[in-house]
Amino acid sequence: MDRPNVFLIYTDQQRWDCLGVHGHPLAVTPHIDRLAGEGVDFRNAFCTVPLCTPARASLLSGVWPSEHLSITNWDTEAPRPLRDGLPVFPQMLREAGYYLGYVGKWHVHSEQDPTHFGFHDYVPESDYLRWREQEGLPPQPMNNSWFGETDWGIRPDQTRLAWGADHILRLLAERTQCDRPFFLRWDPWEPHLPNVVPEPYASLYNPADIEPWDNWEEAFVNKPYAQRNQLHNWDIQDWRWEDWAPIVARYLGEITLLDAQIGRILAYLAASGLAERTLVVFTSDHGDMCGSHRMIDKHFVMYEEVVRVPLIMRWSGVLPAGVVCNDFVSNSLDLAATFCSAGTGAVPSGFSGLDLLPAAALAPDRVRRDDIFVPYYGNQFGLYSQRMVRDTRWKYVWNASAEDELYDLDDDPAELCNLAAFSSYNHELARLRARLVAWMETTDDRLLNPWTRRALLGAQTGQLVPAFP
């Protein structure tokens, strides 16, 4: 098998369910939908951690945040870069002869950019602001704070998304003249809030047509206090759906604008003859509440809207087309392993993820997970440790300093009813806690200690038992 070119689209804060191919009744995403139809759609892909910096550090290093140690974003009380000396997949591809280019959001290290990790060229998203000023365009408005608005000063082809796609197209054009394989990575900020979008995308979706999420009427019964408190932190505790619908409309509008730019790049790959030799990957670092459970952003929760992400892979002539794979995937970890496998023929022994190429090919002897794990360490409103384990039916969230959460996803896919306090579910709690402890052991999780181990493994009811009598 020849080594492929690789084009990775790694968006920010994109929900799994806001694509046409994933069943959203309104979302206009023809190019992403076509990519799924021409490739493999992983329907059980989950973020490695629901936060930008640690997720991106895991993608680089192929290990869990508990191993690379960069557990929060930089604007918190625990900022730190990933630890020195870790192998990173871009450097491995570079040593294997790849050219590597990076466009967009970095958010991994405050002092070192992608060129310190193996990339040859880097176009930071901050350059867009200078470009916009040089073009005589007004600054992006922020009159509605983080809740988004219409950007009246620009056309769609002048957006940060179009600007980023232009740079990817430029790098692709330069690669058409070279025999050397390439790895190009595009990390749009979008559709991360605030969604400030120009017409016609700002009004593409009529708020009146957008139905409330199934779990919008969340009452927070038996839920951790931090969830209800998030509404007060954002001052949205009294919002009605009529307040949320315009925000969701702009979120969908920005996803459609993103889709249009992806369509431009896919068209160039086809016209230039690169499509047959390029592995295209589309995914996101994590999701977004966007009104689900009445919440915004992503902190202090492990709901599906935040932890489940899109993941689509297309490698024409090598991977099958129009395939849905239901294997559990930890996207950042598994992609690091996959890129090494595709580009060098081997996955480093220290990497924690799985090579997704056998799963994409539906190989009968591939390694499959029975469940998936997601950690969270806190951000923005303080450190707050959570660990999640989820299988095909059950989701268990251990909140180290709050109530446990247990959801039956067959009966309650909206995750409204927390079953953790009911003794009739003790068997499931004990099973899932044991799985969680075993995983924490393998990932060098420092939250696992004699006190927490006893609490998790010694609990016989929905309430954690104290470490000491």
Same domain, 409 and 264: no
Could you tell me the CATH number of the domain that includes residue 73?
3.40.720.10
What confidence tens digit (pLDDT) does each residue in 371-380 have?
Answer: 999 999 999 8
Domain match, 333 and 430 both: no
How does residue 287 score in pLDDT terms, banded at 50, 70 and 90? Answer: very high
Same domain, 242 and 310: yes
Tokens describing residue 284: 């996101």
Residue 396 sits in the same domain as residue 298: no
Indicate if 409 and 276 belong to the same structural domain.
Answer: no
- Position 308 pLDDT exceeds 60: yes
Q: Which domain, by its residues, includes 417?
A: 391-458
Residue 111 lies in a domain: yes
299 plus 165 within the same structural domain = yes
Residue 466 has pLDDT above 60, yes or no: no
- Structural domain total, the chain: 2
pLDDT-derived band of residue 4, with 50, 70 and 90 as boundaries?
very high
The percent of residues above 70 in pLDDT, for the chain, comes to: 97
At 320 the three-state DSSP class reads coil
DSSP element (H, E) containing 6: strand 5-11
Q: Under 8 Å CB-to-CB from 108, ≥6 apart: which residues? A: 53, 56, 57, 60, 70, 81, 82, 114, 117
The overall longest dimension of the chain from CA atoms, in Å, is 71
pLDDT beyond 80 at 468: no
pLDDT at 465 over 50: no
166-213 pLDDT, tens digit each: 999 999 999 988 889 999 999 999 999 999 999 999 999 999 999 999
404 in any annotated domain: yes
Whether residues 405 and 350 fall in one domain:
no
pLDDT tops 60 at residue 129: yes
Tell me the pLDDT tens digit for each residue of 95-118: 999 999 999 999 999 999 999 999
164 and 225 co-located in one domain: yes
CB-facing half-sphere around the CA of 205: CA atoms within 13 A:
25
pLDDT in tens, 26-45: 999 999 999 999 999 999 99
- Indicate the average pLDDT of the chain: 95
Residues 120, 258 share a domain: yes
Residue 464 vs residue 7, higher pLDDT:
7
What region, left, alpha or beta, does residue 94 occupy, with left being phi > 0 and alpha being psi -120 to 50 degrees?
alpha
- In degrees rounded to 5, what are phi and psi of residue 24? -65, 130
Does the residue 422 lie in any domain?
yes
Q: What is the CATH number of the domain that holds 421?
A: 3.30.1120
Give me the percent of the chain exceeding a pLDDT of 90: 94
* 77 and 176 share one domain: yes
Q: Is residue 411 part of a domain?
A: yes
Please check the confidence at residue 461 and state whether its pLDDT lies above 90: no
Would you say residue 263 lies in a domain?
A: yes
Confidence at residue 177, expressed as pLDDT on a 0 to 100 scale = 82
Query: pLDDT band at residue 1, thresholds of 50, 70 and 90?
Result: low
In the numeric block, the tokens 């009966």 are attached to: 411
Same domain for 447 and 317? Answer: no
Q: End of a domain among 309, 341, 360?
A: 360
| pLDDT at residue 266 tops 70 | yes
Q: How buried is residue 429: exposed, middle or buried, by Cβ count under 10 Å (0-12/13-18/19+)?
A: buried
Q: Does residue 380 belong to any structural domain of this protein?
A: no
Domain co-membership, 286 together with 170 = yes
Closest of 31, 67, 29, 74 to residue 51, by C-alpha: 74
Residue 212 CB neighbours (<10 A): 16
Q: Is 187 among the domain residues?
A: yes
Residue 279 domain-assigned?
Answer: yes
